[in-house]
Structure 1
Amino acid sequence: MQIKDVLLAPGNGAFFYDDQAAIRAGATQDGFIYVNEPTTPGFTSIRIPASSLSIGLVLADDTVVWGDMMNVQYSGAGGRDPLFDTDLISDLTSRVIAPRLLDVDASLFCDSCAKVFEPVEHQRLPLAVEYGVSQTLLRAAAHITRKTMAETVCAEFDLPLPTRRVPIYCQGGDAREVNVDKMILKSVDVLPHGLINSRAKFGAHGQTFMEFVKWVAKRTREIGRPGYHPVLHFDVYGWIGQEIGLEPQRIADFICKVADTVPDFTLNVESPADFGSTQAQIENYAKIVSILDNRGSNARIVVDERCNTLEDIRLFAEAKATHLVQIKTPDVGSIADTARAVLLCKANKVGAYVGGSCTETDLSARASVHVSVATQADMMLAKPGMGVDEGFSIVGNEQNRLFAMLNRRRAQNRNR
C-alpha cells in the first residue's frame, strides 16, 4: 500500500529538556526552574519545555497514522543527539523524509524503515526523526495487515506471539516521597527511579542516597498490599563515581554496602559512574559487574549514559559490562532497532529494559509497549511525564488491551 501524503504537526513533550551538565555542576533550583547559566550547547536556559513533532501518513484508504519525534530529557549529554529543534527537524522531514515515504510499500515495516532512513550526505539522520517516523511506519503496517503493532513486530522478526506480561517501571521526578507512595499503592513492578541527580540528593559518601533506599524498602512494607515485593531501581546519574571516585572496586564496594541494607530486595543501580567514553564505560562497568557477581550480591548494574545506539548496546552486551541495558528509545532511533536491541541483549543473556524519556508522548509510549511485549523485554518504562499516574495508566492500559487482543487471536487460531 502506498502513502499518499505526509502531515506534520508541532507538539509538546510530556516534561522538560534539562541541561544535565549545568545541574551536575550544582545549578540552584528556584521552584521548578534553575537560575544558573546553561552550559550544554543549544540550551538557552537550564530547563526548557519539551517540544515534539508529529508526523502523519495518509494511506491509500485515507486513514492517517501518526508517530512522534522528540529527544530525551538530558539532550546533548553522554554522547546523545543535541537539543530538539522543531524548525530544523520539520524542514529536514519535509525536504528529505516525505519524498522517501511516498515511495515505499507501507505494509513492509522493516523494509520501509531501511529505505527511508538511508544516510543524507553520508550522515545518519537525527535519531528523533528515525524514532518518530518508525512509529508511524509500524502503525501503518499494522493497519494494513489488520494486526496489532506487536504482531507486526513478531512477524518481522519471526517471533512467537507473546504470552508474558512485561513488568512496568515507574519514575517520579522530584516529588519523591509522594510519588513513591503512589507507586506502592498501585503495586508498580519496579520503582522508584529516585532522580539522584545532584550532590544534595546523593549526600556525603552517599549517605543521603543510602537512607532513601532504606526508606523506600521500609515504606513498601508499611503501605504495600500483602505479598507485594517490587524490584528497587535507583538512577544515580554517575554520582557514585563523582563522590567516591572512579575506581571499580570502590564503586562495587559501595553498591554492595547499599544492597546489604535492603537484603530482601533486588536492587538495580543505574548509571553508577560516568567514565567519560563508551570504551572506558565498557571496561570499567565489566569490572564492577564481575565483582558483584563474584560476591553473589543482590545488586544489578544498569547502563544508560554512553550506551545509546544499537551498536553501543551490542558492545556492552557482548562484553557483559552490565546486568541490564536501558534501551533509551529516542536515543536508539528507529523503533525497529529497539526490537533488535532487546533480541541482542537476550542472545547475550543480558537484561533488556525498554526505557525512554519523560519528554515523550502518549503515541511513542504506546508504540514502545508493543515492541516491549513482542520481544518480551525484561521491563519497560511507564512514560511519558514524571507524574506516575499518567505514564503508568498509558503503558499499563495499552499492555492490558494488547493482551486482550492477543488472547482473542490465540483463541481464533486454536479454533481453526
Structure 2
Amino acid sequence: MQIKDVLLAPGCGAFFYDDQAAIRSGRIQDGFMYVGAPITPGFTSIRVPASSLSIGLVLTDDAVVWGDMMNVQYSGAGGRDPLFDTNKISDLASRVVAPRLLDVDASRFRDSCTKVLESVEHRRLPLAVEYGVSQALLRAAAHLQRKTMAEIICTEFGLLLPTRRVPIYCQSGDAREINVDKMILKGVDVLPHGLINSRQKFGAAGQTFMEFVKWVATRTRKIGRPGYHPVLHFDVYGWIGQEIGLEPQLIADFICGVADTVPGYTLNIESPADFGSTQAQIENYAQIVSILDNRDSSARIVVDERCNTLEDIRLFAEAKATHLVQIKTPDVGSIADTARAVLICKENKVGAYVGGSCTETDLSAQASVHVSVATQADMMLAKPGMGVDEAFSIVGNEQNRLLAMLNRRRDQNENVGLKHGVACRTLLRGSLS
C-alpha cells in the first residue's frame, strides 16, 4: 500500500491547557499563572503548557505527510476527553494505529479513516488520535491524487468546488483591548471572543461584560475603516447562567438587553449557560433560541459546551437548540466528521462555525481551513494560539492560497469542457457529412 512507515514526533500546542473548574471556582491570576490547586483530574497545576504529538506517514515515494494530535484548552470539562498525555497517546499510536495505517489505501480518505480509526475493544480511540491521524490521511490522499485537501473533501462528499471565502473569527485572549484594536485594524470579519471566563470579567449582574461589549462596538466605529461592520462574538463560558440564573427566560432577557446596547450589530453569544448535561443543554437552549427568535432579536446563541461529538451536533441541530454550532475540531475527532458536522448543520438550517482551540498547531489549523472552505462553513476560527497576528495570518493566508488554486482548477476544468464540446461538435459534423 502507499504508506510504508509511520513517524511520531512530540510537539507543543500553541497555548496552554487550563483547568476550567478551578478557574470558575474563583482562583486568582498572578501574572500569567493561576494561584491554587487544580480541581480537574489529570491537571498538576491549573495552567499546563499545551503538548501535542505529530504523526507522519511515509509514502512510497518517500514524501512524508503530517497530522497533529492534541486536546482543547479546557480538557476534561463539559464532557470532553481528559488532559492530553503525550506518552499514553504515543504508546497507543505505536501499538494500535501504526499497524492499521500500513494496511490501507491512503488515496481513499474516508475509507482509510474508517479502517484506521476503528474502536479498540468496543472503545472509541481518543479524539485527539482521530483528529491528528485523519489530518495526515487527508494530506496523504491529496498528495497521492495531486489535489488540494479541499478537493478531496469535495470529491468524497459530493460537493461542488467552492467559490465563497469563509469569514474568519479571531479570539483576543486576556489582552482584550490591544487585540481588539489589532482585529479592527486588520478588518477581521468576526470578533473578539473576549475570554469572559471568570466572575471578575463578567461582573456583578453582567455589568462588566456589557460595558466591554459597548466598548468593542464603539472602538470599531472609531478606528475601523469606512464601511467596516464586523459580527460581534463573545464567549461567556456559561457565566450568564451562573450569575443571572439557569432560567431560559432570564437568560434570554439578559441577552436581548446586551443586544440592545449595540444596535445595528449581529451579536453572537457563545455558551451562555451550562445546564449540566447534553439533554438539559438541548432543552434549555431550544427555549432561549425560541424566545430570541420570537422577539426578532439581533442576538444569536452559539453552542459549545455539551456539544462535542458529531452525534451531539446532530441532536442540537435537529432540535434547533442553537443558531450556530461551534464544531470544535479536536472534540469532534476525525476531520471527516468535521465535514459531516458542517453538512448536518446546513441540512437543518443551523449555522456552522468550524472552531477548535488555541492549543492547536499550524498544521491542524491549515487542515481545518480546507474543510471549512470545501463545505462552505459560515465562519472559521483563526487558530492556533491566543494572539491575533499569527493565527489570522496562518488561517487567512491558507484560505487565500487555497482559493487561488481552486480558481485555477475551475478554469482548467472549464477549458477542458470547452475543448471537449468543440471536439464533439466537429465529430458530429463529420458524421453528418
Regarding TM over 0.5, the answer is yes
Per the alignment, in what secondary structure is the counterpart of residue 321 of structure 2? coil
Q: Structure 2, unaligned stretches of length 5 or more? A: 417-433
Letter in 2 for 1:79: G
Q: How far apart are residue 172 of structure 1 and its match?
A: 1.2
How many percent identity over aligned positions?
88
Query: Counterpart of 1:336?
Result: 336
Letter in 2 for 1:119: S
Give the Cα–Cα distance (whole angstroms) in 2 for the partners of residues 205 and 236 of structure 1: 13
Give the Cα–Cα distance (whole angstroms) in 2 for the partners of residues 92 and 407 of structure 1: 41
Where do 1:218-237 residues align within 5 Å? 218-237=218-237
Where do 1:220-259 residues align within 5 Å? 220-259=220-259
Q: How far apart are residue 198 of structure 1 and its match?
A: 0.4
Give the Cα–Cα distance (whole angstroms) in 2 for the partners of residues 184 and 403 of structure 1: 24
Give the Cα–Cα distance (whole angstroms) in 1 for the partners of residues 20 and 397 of structure 2: 32
Letter in 2 for 1:120: V
Where do 1:51-130 residues align within 5 Å? 51-130=51-130
Query: Counterpart of 1:155?
Result: 155
Give the Cα–Cα distance (whole angstroms) in 2 for the partners of residues 17 and 228 of structure 1: 34
Query: Counterpart of 1:369?
Result: 369
Q: How far apart are residue 383 of structure 1 and its match?
A: 0.0
For residues 357-383 of structure 1, give each alpha carbon's deviation from its aligned partner in whole angstroms, at most 9, with x where no partner exists.
000000000000000000000000000
Give the Cα–Cα distance (whole angstroms) in 2 for the partners of residues 293 and 40 of structure 1: 37
Give the Cα–Cα distance (whole angstroms) in 2 for the partners of residues 279 and 395 of structure 1: 34
Letter in 2 for 1:354: V
Give the Cα–Cα distance (whole angstroms) in 1 for the partners of residues 35 and 257 of structure 2: 35
Q: How far apart are residue 35 of structure 1 and its match?
A: 1.1
For residues 40-64 of structure 1, give each alpha carbon's deviation from its aligned partner in whole angstroms, at most 9, with x where no partner exists.
0000000000000000000011100
Query: Counterpart of 1:18?
Result: 18
Q: How far apart are residue 21 of structure 1 and its match?
A: 0.3
Letter in 1 for 2:89: I
For residues 286-332 of structure 1, give each alpha carbon's deviation from its aligned partner in whole angstroms, at most 9, with x where no partner exists.
00000000000000000000000000000000000000000000000
Letter in 2 for 1:175: A
Where do 1:3-402 residues align within 5 Å? 3-402=3-402
Higher CA-based Rg? 2
Give the Cα–Cα distance (whole angstroms) in 1 for the partners of residues 58 and 235 of structure 2: 40
Q: How far apart are residue 414 of structure 1 and its match?
A: 1.2
For residues 107-163 of structure 1, give each alpha carbon's deviation from its aligned partner in whole angstroms, at most 9, with x where no partner exists.
000000000111001100000000000000000000000000000000000000001
Give the Cα–Cα distance (whole angstroms) in 1 for the partners of residues 366 and 377 of structure 2: 15
Letter in 2 for 1:311: E
Give the Cα–Cα distance (whole angstroms) in 2 for the partners of residues 36 and 55 of structure 1: 35
Letter in 2 for 1:36: G
Give the Cα–Cα distance (whole angstroms) in 2 for the partners of residues 67 and 22 of structure 1: 31
When normalised by structure 1's length, the TM-score is 1.00
Give the Cα–Cα distance (whole angstroms) in 2 for the partners of residues 138 and 7 of structure 1: 16
Q: How far apart are residue 2 of structure 1 and its match?
A: 1.9
When normalised by structure 2's length, the TM-score is 0.96
Give the Cα–Cα distance (whole angstroms) in 1 for the partners of residues 213 and 16 of structure 2: 26
Per the alignment, in what secondary structure is the counterpart of residue 415 of structure 1? helix
CA-based RMSD: 0.4
Letter in 1 for 2:361: T
Give the Cα–Cα distance (whole angstroms) in 1 for the partners of residues 33 and 357 of structure 2: 19
Give the Cα–Cα distance (whole angstroms) in 1 for the partners of residues 248 and 35 of structure 2: 35
Q: Structure 1, unaligned stretches of length 5 or more? A: none
Give the Cα–Cα distance (whole angstroms) in 1 for the partners of residues 158 and 60 of structure 2: 27
Give the Cα–Cα distance (whole angstroms) in 1 for the partners of residues 258 and 29 of structure 2: 28
Letter in 2 for 1:69: M
For residues 77-122 of structure 1, give each alpha carbon's deviation from its aligned partner in whole angstroms, at most 9, with x where no partner exists.
0000000000000000000000000000000000000001110011
Residues matched between the structures, number: 416
